[in-house]
Amino acid sequence: MAGPETKAAVEWLASAASDPGACRWEWERHPHGIALLPAGRRWDVLVLPGELGRPTLGVLARLLGRPGPVLTGCGDSRTGFFVPPGTASHWVGTGVRRCGRGAWIAVPHPGRVAGSVRWLIRPDGSGVLTDPGLLERAMHEAVGTAAEARGGGPEGGAVRQRS
């Protein structure tokens, strides 16, 4: 039986669909518990390559404790951060896939383990999203830390957000 947080997460995620009932039906019937949901209504998703996504999530977790929802997929080679709607249209960053209005996201049921797409940070139903400014800061710190570990200095200009 799903707890209240999972039920709230299901309702919040399904509210992004034009037909929330069909979304819930898809989660129940799809063999992997995945539904396609439109980005740009309740949230955008910024997809980072895994080698940047995981360290960025680590920095965010240290800064915030619990960032907004985060997905991983493609064998953990991609990490998707749920950010406020409209963020994708203003984001500039090398290697970052921007999913906003017009894009569709494969979203697993928040209360189950899915196949190739899974939650690293499950939504809690509150609608909390990752702040784009903090995400940018975390990305810069992750890039700098990786460069220092390789013996080089931080790489400037790797990511930035347009105002």
Sign of CA dihedral 125, 126, 132, 134: negative
**pTM recorded for the entire structure:** 0.87
Residue with tokens 């992997």: 32
Let me know if 111 is exposed, middle or buried by CB neighbors in 10 A (0-12, 13-18, 19+).
middle
pLDDT of amino acid 77: 86
For the stretch 97-150, pLDDT in tens is 999 999 999 999 998 776 788 999 999 999 999 999 999 999 999 988 877 777
Dihedral sign, Cα of residue 99, residue 16, residue 21, residue 102: negative
Residues 108, 56 contacting (CB under 8 angstroms): no
Beta strands 34-38 and 97-99 are unpaired
For 14-32, write each residue's pLDDT tens digit. Answer: 999 999 999 999 888 877 7
Quote the CA–CA distance of 28 and 31 in Å, as a whole number: 8
Helix (H, G, I), strand (E, B) or coil at 112: coil
